[in-house]
Amino acid sequence: MRTTVGIIGGGPAGLLLARLLHAEGVDCVVLESRTREYVEQRQRAGILEQGTVDALRDCGAGTRMDAEGLVHEGIELRFDRQRHRIDFPSLTGGRSVMVYAQTEVVKDLVALQLADGPPLLFEAQAIAVEKPESDRPVVRFTHRGREQTLECEYVIGCDGFHGIARAAVPAAVRRTYERAYPYSWLGILADVPPSCEELIYARGERGFALNSMRSPTVSRLYLQVPNGTDPADWPDDRIWDELDARFAVDGDWSLERGPVTAKSVTPMRSYVTEPMRYGRILLAGDAAHIVPPTGAKGLNLAVSDVRIMARAFAELRRTGSAALLDAYSDDCLRRVWQATRFSYEMTTMLHTDPEAQAFEGRVQLARLHRIAASGAAAAELAANYTGLPLG
């Protein structure tokens, strides 16, 4: 097979890139190692920045999102048993976020791709990227029981942290920066209407908690737990009791309980690899960077990568200039590090570090009080949460 752009990974980043390239008349092929059913059922992020919402609408994937997604115009911070709302539109000039699960984004993009897009191959396992420094790199992959090759002008790695694309960048060239946090999230899905109209981020002596949702009838909630926690050690009643304690405020508010349908534990980490381009291979999303989910940046950062990338390929096709492609890594990394900073600050402000002293706890509260009392501090949080300009 031959194409202009070979995309490894059929998650939201790879699928959106394929749609954006298709709109610009750039040929591409998407290789996804898993089945369609698996890809469409993976539970991931559910908060879409304004720029992500706009990109999905622009590529024709916004119809169901606009009908079923939940527009959120703020978040609530809870600490010292008090509630503090951050109003996004008033602080950002009208920007907001959308609650719409990544599983639904993927379903929408897959349907579009299979209906009228370039090739999307499921169960196509990429096994190697050869000659990435040449002008015709090759992806070797297996599909339907036999090994095949995809000859490209460019290879895009949207295949996540454990994929092969990053490994195609020589170790002597790669630089990695990472931080492992001393806590994890225990997340649950529950068949119960959300107890809040907007997300609640709660900080307390017992640890962090997040009250979120997937739909008007399904709640998504998280608890800070020690690393290595086994979800089996947390029966449903224990989870609900702990959530009740961490969300407690002075005033009239109660947590709705319901059947827990799923439990999982997510370690918290920050990771960035540089550069995001080597020769004719470009990295996007988790193949290049991971952020803790506190700032709701993971999916949105991947979308930003491929929007910047698609713009560069459109420039190459229209003018023959590779200037934007040459600048891709630097342009993305500026944004990546800002998102990494924001996610780090949200995480360290809201979680209880088991190794920290009382001093750190008082500084956390001072940071939260500053946001609650200062329009400038609240505006900084709102601008980052709803998404910084693409540039």
Domain containing residue 328: CATH number: 3.50.50.60
Instruction: Identify whether 157 is part of a domain.
Output: yes
- Candidate list 100, 181, 194, 297, residue with the active-site label: 297
Give me the residue label for tokens 């999905």: 56
Instruction: Summarize the confidence of residues 276-281 as an average pLDDT.
Output: 97
In the chain, the number of structural domains is 1
* pLDDT tens digit sequence for 182-217: 999 999 999 999 999 999 999 999 999 999 998 999
Amino acid 59: pLDDT: 94
Q: Is 278 in the active site?
A: no
Q: How far apart are CA 333 and CA 305, in angstroms?
A: 9
Confidence band, pLDDT 50/70/90 cuts, at residue 87:
very high
Instruction: Identify whether 79 is part of a domain.
Output: no
Confidence band, pLDDT 50/70/90 cuts, at residue 42:
confident
Instruction: Identify whether 15 is part of a domain.
Output: yes
Instruction: Summarize the confidence of residues 318-347 as an average pLDDT.
Output: 97
Give the residue, 46 or 373, on which the prediction is more confident.
Answer: 373
Residue 41 domain boundaries: 5-71+99-177+269-354
Confidence band, pLDDT 50/70/90 cuts, at residue 58:
very high
Q: How far apart are CA 227 and CA 237, in angstroms?
A: 21
Amino acid 47: pLDDT: 95
Retrieve residue 159's tokens. Answer: 């295949």
Instruction: Identify whether 387 is part of a domain.
Output: no
Instruction: Identify whether 87 is part of a domain.
Output: no
Q: Is 293 in the active site?
A: yes
* pLDDT tens digit sequence for 207-259: 999 999 989 999 999 999 999 999 999 999 999 999 999 999 999 999 999 99
- Candidate list 222, 293, 328, 351, residue with the active-site label: 293
- Candidate list 100, 201, 278, 328, residue with the active-site label: 201
CB 139 within 8 A of CB 109: no
- Candidate list 72, 132, 222, 351, residue with the active-site label: 72
Instruction: Identify whether 227 is part of a domain.
Output: no
Q: Is 201 in the active site?
A: yes
The single-letter code of the amino acid at 274 is E
Strand 120-121 relative to strand 28-31, pairing: parallel
Amino acid 266: pLDDT: 94
Q: What is the mean pLDDT of the chain?
A: 96
Confidence band, pLDDT 50/70/90 cuts, at residue 2:
very high
Instruction: Identify whether 308 is part of a domain.
Output: yes
CA–CA distance from 357 to each of 291, 349, 352, 361, 362 (Å)?
25, 14, 10, 7, 9
Amino acid 150: pLDDT: 98
Instruction: Identify whether 91 is part of a domain.
Output: no
- CA angle (332 as vertex; 317, 187 as ends), nearest 5: 120
Give the residue, 43 or 291, on which the prediction is more confident.
Answer: 291
